[in-house]
Amino acid sequence: MFKRLLIANRGEIAVRIIRACQELGIETVAVYSDVDEHALHVQLADYAYHIGPADAAQSYLNMEAILAAATATKAEAIHPGYGFLSENADFADLVTNSGFIWVGPRSETIRKVGNKDAARAAMKAAGLPMTKGTNPIKNNEEAYQFAEELGYPVILKPVSGGGGKSMFVINTRQDLETALHKVDVTKAAFYFENYISQSRHIEVQIMADNFGNILHLGERECSLQRRNQKILEEAPSSALTSEMRHKVGALAIRAAKSVHYTNVGTVEFLMDVKSGKFYFMEINPRIQVEHAITETITGIDLVRRQIRIAAGEPLNKRQEDIQYLGHAIECRINAEDPENHFLPAPGQIEFYHEPGGPRVRIDSGVCAGLAVEPYYDSMIAKVIAHGRTRGDAIKIMIRALNEFRITGIKTTIPFHQRVLSNPHFCTGDIDTQFVYKHMSSCEPVKPKKLNPRAADTSLVNSAW
Active site positions, annotated: 286
Q: How far is CA 132 from CA 124, 145, 162, 195, in A?
A: 11, 15, 19, 9
Taking each continuous run of H as one helix and of E as one strand, the counts in the chain are: 15, 22
**Inter-residue contact 401 to 420 (CB < 8 Å):** yes
Alpha carbon 258 to chain centroid, angstroms: 22
What lies within 8 Å, CB to CB, of 181 at 6+ separation is none
Pairing of strands 101-102, 77-79: parallel
What lies within 8 Å, CB to CB, of 265 at 6+ separation is 105, 206, 207, 208, 256, 283, 284, 285, 286
Residue in 382, 458, 434 with CA at minimum distance from that of residue 12: 382
**Inter-residue contact 324 to 298 (CB < 8 Å):** yes
**Inter-residue contact 430 to 361 (CB < 8 Å):** no
| Cβ count near 362 (within 10 Å) | 16
